[in-house]
Homo-oligomer: A and B are copies of this chain.
């Protein structure tokens, strides 16, 4: 099993237009380093996996169960499994580290 990753060497996959992710995964934890282009939108969706994330750069308007906040700096958010959520990048785009447990099989 791979134990070290340089995100610069991970090929990005497109999640939705304007949003790409670099994936690294263990057995119980999956990292998804997400880059959103300016004003890119991740439409509302949900999944049974718990998700926690930390902003890396830029700003992102994030809605969790209908509650919307703008995240920046190194702020952290939690999306419990099954809860609908949606993201809109700010005018300079955003980078965030999303973490899933269990890993999302469709991203492997």
Any B CB within 8 A of the CB of A42:
no
Count identical subunits in the complex: 2
- Complex CA gap A105/B5 in Å reads 28
Binding site for B on A (CB under 8 A): 1-8, 24, 26-29, 31, 33, 50-52, 54, 56, 64, 67, 69, 73-81, 97, 99, 101-102
Can you sample 13 A-B contacts with CB below 8 Å? A1-B80, A3-B77, A4-B76, A4-B77, A4-B78, A7-B73, A7-B76, A26-B50, A27-B50, A29-B29, A29-B52, A31-B52, A31-B76
Q: A28-B50, A31-B52 are in contact. List 20 more A-B contacts (CB 8 A).
A: A2-B78, A3-B64, A3-B77, A4-B75, A5-B75, A6-B73, A7-B73, A26-B50, A26-B52, A26-B78, A26-B80, A27-B50, A27-B81, A28-B102, A29-B51, A29-B78, A33-B54, A33-B74, A52-B99, A56-B74
